[in-house]
Amino acid sequence: MMLGKTQNIIRALGRRIAAWRGRHLVSFVDEDPEQVESGKIYVIGEGGHPWYAAMACPCGCGETLKLAMIEGSRPRWSFVRHWDDTVSLKPSVWRKVGCKSHFWVRDGRIDWC
């Protein structure tokens, strides 16, 4: 029980540092977020099964990007949640329309292609 508490404190500290460094933090929700805040990656799903992720396009164009994670979808993204609640996404995100942004999310950081 003590260990769980310590882990929570470390995670909370990690989140603060990551946010301060401008990293994207994961937020688990069970329905489509009404407002998508920049700097957050929402993972929408139920019972530990992610359906899709949503995030504001990091270029600032104002679009909300939705990334399918459900089995059978193509392309299908997967994510890794790190100790400080930052995430890495695979594969890269490449918008074919609009701003045509192409980037990776690694450790909550946007790596432009």
Restricted to residues 57-86, the positions that interact with Zn ion (CB under 5 A) are: 57, 59, 61
Q: How many residues bind Zn ion (CB under 5 A)?
A: 5
Distance CA 89, CA 107 (A): 9
DSSP count for the chain of H helices, then E strands: 1, 9
Contacting Zn ion (CB under 5 A), which of 12, 17, 70, 99? 99
Sequence-distant (6+) residues with CB within 8 A of 97 are: none
Which of 56, 69 has the CB closer to Zn ion? 56
Are 26 and 111 in contact by the 8 Å Cβ rule? The answer is no
Contact code string over 17-56 relative to Zn ion, x by CB under 5 A: ----------------------------------------
> Under the rule (CB under 5 A), what is the footprint of Zn ion?
57, 59, 61, 99, 101
